[in-house]
């Protein structure tokens, strides 16, 4: 799947919730994250998730707006 996304020029970012499974951020980086400027972020808990998803979305939107100019 990762190779197919890379071949098609798709960028995949991720937000792992550390409390849900040990080593999840490492798994995201090794198996999911792909493409130019791709990144993985971590929320330490489900309670932190709303703040971190907002940061992730702002980072993605800001990147797209900046590259369109």
Q: What is the pLDDT of residue 2?
A: 84
Q: State both tokens at 32.
A: 């999911």
Q: What is the pLDDT of residues 13-65, one digit of tens each?
A: 999 999 888 999 999 999 999 998 999 999 999 999 999 999 999 999 987 65
Those residues with Cβ within 8 angstroms of residue 41's Cβ, 6 or more apart along the chain or in another chain: 13, 14, 15, 16, 52, 55, 56, 59
Question: What are the start-end ranges of the H helices in 1-69?
Answer: 2-7, 24-31, 49-68
Q: 3-class SS at 69? A: coil
More reliable by pLDDT, 5 or 49: 49
């Amino acid at each position: 799947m990762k190779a197919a996304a890379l071949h098609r020029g798709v960028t995949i970012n991720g937000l792992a919730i550390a409390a849900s499974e040990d080593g999840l951020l490492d798994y995201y980086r090794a198996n999911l994250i792909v493409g130019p400027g791709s990144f993985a972020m971590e929320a330490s808990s489900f309670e932190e998730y709303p703040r971190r998803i907002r940061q992730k979305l702002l980072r993605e939107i800001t990147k797209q707006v900046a590259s369109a100019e």
